């Protein structure tokens, strides 16, 4: 293919345009970015059933503090209308309005119409949904999708049971009584749910026990005695906002379970329903979470670099410093020192947002006042200690809690491990300017090396790496090696290890999987997207790769921006348990980072040497 050529003025103009688009979404009043998460049929269905369960039990039990029933009915009607409007042509629903249908969301949405006794009014919609469920394999297909991880399959079936669409005897019991034990004990017993799902363990375990208690009488007595103590635990760990993890699905599952037991006056239920009322959108839908404010702010800072106006620097630094947890987290028992994805009370510190915040603060530090620099130095040291304490025995990093088990969000993952390595190494490099002990530095050095050994072992035979938190719905098993490989190679780049065989194999894989149109998708032969093209290009450019395929990719990205695709995010992100989402800021942030790299690059490097062998994409 002939080298397409790059108009340098166009490149700079496009870069300026994308940069301004990102800056325009900065909130001056709060000192950070908010972003906007996609609306979710799954979240909407769970919120509808939670509120309907409250209404149904309210009629039976007449609580002393009645809910605003007219408001709940209004929200239920709006939610059902949204679901009808966003049903896919195959009769199913996906997790977003751009997602392919899946068995989980379709079962939840189908059940919502039955729970509200409106299946007849939406008969065509409900009939199509039932056909899709049957064709997809029904409950066995649902259980197969999640395998050993019961975090989502049991809540879905509970949702269906409360809607009259499943039998309680078909739902596995959750050991809610274990919530009476100290949090450190959870690692030993290998719970069938991941560490963040304690509220679901308690509430859903109890509603199953309420409707279908165990036949073994002594154990039934133990569970009966555990009901009140575990409800106290649930009340203790509920955040001020009322939303567990700020997540509509988890809060809805907890709320419908408590309502399904008739606990309408319980404070956890009342706060949960208030959270749902407060978080509904104008179109009648709910997002999966309130926002990813901390995450998108750190991504934005790291993408903009010196293009961030000076007047933004101190407010963002101050805001990020205030988001670092200073006490033990009541939810996961995490030590102080980490960051969550949001500034809201339902956030939980994790090993992806913590490195992001650390790298952002390190980028802001040279432009901050001396007082703020001192605060940043202390903050980064605490962050490093937090990450070091979280590292698993295999050298990788989990999302939330060390050593909980082998379920996805508790085992080591490649994207999180690479991110942690980058933040720790950056701290080590800054050591001469920061007063920390040699022992901590030695420990950090060892942790980085162990992290790289984990990445070496987890690299696939084709040279790519798979991430945990991102996917592509058109790739088998929802994998996204483009995202995973780009993020892992970034750790080799930042640590000066690009000559490592693993890094070169990763770069080779990215080059080999460029689409014929010049862009990248989630892997071979998947449609190109702004997000994935930007991720692949940025790492190739910053790692010194050359060739006309880079010019072809830059042209693809600029053309996509010209056509308005910067404002058309794709469902690339995974929330918990393979729940898809998209974030409006992702294509903008990733593109800004890439175009800045392109503007710094040598344009001549995009033309291969005359004696170079041309690859299929060239």
| Lowest pLDDT segment from 150-164, 244-258, 294-308, 530-544 | 150-164
Asked whether 259 and 163 are in contact (CB, 8 A), the reply is no
Same-domain status, 262 and 319: no
Q: pLDDT of 94-103, one tens digit each?
A: 999 999 999 9
Give the model's confidence band at 609: pLDDT under 50 very low, under 70 low, under 90 confident, else very high.
low
Give the model's confidence band at 3: pLDDT under 50 very low, under 70 low, under 90 confident, else very high.
very low
Q: pLDDT of 467-507, one tens digit each?
A: 999 999 999 889 999 999 999 999 999 999 999 999 999 99
Same-domain status, 143 and 243: yes
Boundary-marking domain end, from 400, 428, 458: 458
Q: Nearest to residue 484, comparing CAs of 414, 563, 554?
A: 414
Report if residue 112 sits inside a domain.
Answer: yes
Q: What CATH code is carried by the domain that includes residue 338? A: 1.50.10.20
SS3 289: strand
User: Cα separations (Å) of 131 from 89, 110, 377?
Assistant: 12, 11, 59
Distance CA 487, CA 465 (A): 9
Beta bridge partners of 583: 37
Same-domain status, 408 and 437: yes
Q: pLDDT of 589-607, one tens digit each?
A: 999 999 999 998 877 777 7
Distance CA 263, CA 223 (A): 17
In the 3-class helix/strand/coil scheme, how is 51-75 assigned residue by residue?
Answer: HHHHHHHHHHHCCCCCCCHHHHHHH
Q: At what angle do helices 123-136 and 103-115 cross, to 10 degrees?
A: 140
Residue 121 lies in domain? 40-287
CB neighbours (10 Å) of residue 595?
27
Give the model's confidence band at 63: pLDDT under 50 very low, under 70 low, under 90 confident, else very high.
low
SS3 470: strand
Report if residue 617 sits inside a domain.
Answer: no
Mean pLDDT score of the chain: 90
Boundary-marking domain end, from 458, 485, 512: 458
Report if residue 295 sits inside a domain.
Answer: yes
Same-domain status, 277 and 298: no
Q: Nearest to residue 590, comparing CAs of 22, 92, 132, 113?
A: 22
Asked whether 484 and 419 are in contact (CB, 8 A), the reply is no
Boundary-marking domain end, from 428, 458, 488: 458
Looking at residue 61, what is its pLDDT?
59
Give the model's confidence band at 2: pLDDT under 50 very low, under 70 low, under 90 confident, else very high.
very low
Name the pTM for this structure: 0.93
Same-domain status, 269 and 405: no
Same-domain status, 408 and 529: no
Q: pLDDT of 40-51, one tens digit each?
A: 999 999 999 999
Same-domain status, 585 and 505: yes
Give the whole-number percent of the chain exceeding pLDDT 70.
Answer: 91
Q: pLDDT of 364-383, one tens digit each?
A: 999 999 999 999 999 999 99
Give the model's confidence band at 7: pLDDT under 50 very low, under 70 low, under 90 confident, else very high.
confident
Same-domain status, 272 and 188: yes
Report if residue 44 sits inside a domain.
Answer: yes
Report if residue 611 sits inside a domain.
Answer: no
Same-domain status, 506 and 582: yes
Same-domain status, 484 and 547: yes
Rank 191-195, 257-261, 428-432, 611-615 by mean pLDDT and report only the highest: 257-261
Q: How do 32-33 and 573-574 pair as beta strands?
A: unpaired
Report if residue 612 sits inside a domain.
Answer: no
Tokens at 25, concatenated: 């979404």
Give the model's confidence band at 174: pLDDT under 50 very low, under 70 low, under 90 confident, else very high.
confident
Q: At what angle do helices 353-364 and 310-323 cross, to 10 degrees?
A: 140
Report if residue 366 sits inside a domain.
Answer: yes
Distance CA 129, CA 125 (A): 6
| Lowest pLDDT segment from 105-109, 311-315, 384-388, 608-612 | 608-612
Distance CA 89, CA 11 (A): 40
Find the mean pLDDT for residues 426-448. 82
Same-domain status, 19 and 44: no
State how many domains the chain has. 3
Asked whether 495 and 529 are in contact (CB, 8 A), the reply is no
Find the mean pLDDT for residues 154-180. 92
Distance CA 50, CA 60 (A): 16
Same-domain status, 429 and 544: no
Report if residue 613 sits inside a domain.
Answer: no
SS3 33: strand
Looking at residue 240, what is its pLDDT?
94
Find the mean pLDDT for residues 337-351. 95
């Amino acid at each position: 293919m002939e080298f397409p050529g790059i108009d340098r003025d166009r490149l700079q103009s496009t870069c300026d345009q994308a940069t301004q688009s990102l800056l325009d979404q900065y909130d001056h009043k709060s000192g950070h970015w908010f972003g906007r998460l996609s609306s979710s049929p799954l979240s909407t269905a769970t919120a509808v059933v939670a509120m309907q369960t409250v209404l149904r039990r309210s009629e039976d039990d007449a609580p002393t503090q009645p809910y605003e029933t007219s408001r709940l009915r209004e929200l239920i009607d709006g939610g059902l209308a949204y679901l009808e409007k966003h049903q896919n042509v195959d009769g199913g629903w996906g997790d977003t309005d751009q997602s392919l249908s899946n068995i989980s969301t379709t079962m939840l949405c189908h059940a919502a119409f039955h729970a509200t006794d409106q299946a007849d009014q939406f008969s065509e919609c409900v009939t199509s949904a039932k056909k899709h469920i049957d064709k997809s394999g029904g409950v066995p297909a649902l259980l197969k999708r999640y395998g050993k991880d019961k975090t989502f399959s049991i809540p879905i079936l509970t949702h269906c049971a409360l809607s009259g669409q499943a039998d309680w005897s078909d739902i596995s019991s959750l050991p809610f009584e274990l919530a009476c034990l100290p949090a450190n004990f959870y690692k030993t017993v290998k719970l069938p749910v991941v560490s963040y799902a304690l509220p679901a363990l308690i509430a859903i375990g109890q509603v199953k026990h309420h409707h279908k208690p165990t036949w073994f009488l002594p154990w039934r007595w133990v569970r009966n005695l555990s009901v009140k103590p575990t409800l106290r635990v649930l009340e203790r760990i509920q955040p001020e906002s009322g939303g567990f993890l700020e997540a509509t699905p988890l809060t809805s599952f907890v709320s419908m379970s408590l309502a399904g037991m008739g606990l309408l006056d319980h404070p956890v239920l009342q706060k949960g329903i208030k959270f749902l009322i407060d978080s509904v959108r104008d179109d009648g839908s709910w997002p999966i979470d309130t926002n990813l404010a901390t995450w998108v702010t750190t991504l934005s800072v790291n993408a903009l670099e010196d293009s961030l106006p000076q007047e933004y620097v101190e407010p963002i630094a101050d805001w990020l410093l205030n988001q670092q947890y200073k006490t033990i987290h009541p939810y996961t028992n995490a030590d102080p020192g980490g960051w969550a994805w949001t500034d809201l009370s339902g956030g939980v510190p994790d090993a992806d947002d913590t490195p992001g915040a650390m790298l952002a603060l390190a980028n802001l530090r040279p432009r901050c006042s001396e007082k703020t620099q001192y605060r940043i130095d202390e903050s980064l040291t605490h962050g490093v200690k937090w990450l070091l304490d979280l590292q698993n025995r295999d050298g990788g990093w989990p999302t939330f809690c060390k050593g909980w088990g082998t379920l996805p969000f508790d085992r080591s993952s490649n994207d999180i491990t690479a991110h942690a390595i980058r933040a720790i190494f950056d701290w080590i490099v800054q050591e001469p300017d920061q007063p920390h002990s040699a022992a901590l530095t030695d420990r950090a050095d060892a942790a980085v090396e162990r992290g790289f050994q984990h990445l070496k072992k987890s690299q696939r035979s084709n040279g790519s790496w798979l991430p945990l938190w991102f996917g592509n719905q058109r790739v088998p098993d929802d994998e996204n090696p483009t995202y995973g490989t780009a993020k892992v190679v970034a750790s080799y780049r930042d640590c000066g290890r690009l000559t490592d065989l693993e890094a070169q194999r990763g770069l080779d894989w990215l080059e080999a999987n460029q689409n014929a149109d010049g862009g990248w998708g989630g892997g071979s032969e998947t449609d190109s997207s702004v997000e994935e093209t930007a991720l692949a290009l940025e790492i190739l450019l910053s790692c010194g790769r050359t060739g006309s395929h880079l010019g072809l990719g830059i042209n693809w990205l600029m053309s996509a921006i010209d056509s308005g695709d910067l404002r058309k995010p794709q469902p690339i992100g995974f929330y918990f348990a393979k729940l898809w989402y998209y974030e409006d800021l992702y294509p903008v942030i990733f593109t800004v980072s890439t175009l800045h790299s392109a503007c710094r690059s040598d344009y001549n490097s995009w033309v291969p040497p005359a004696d170079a062998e041309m690859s299929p994409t060239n």
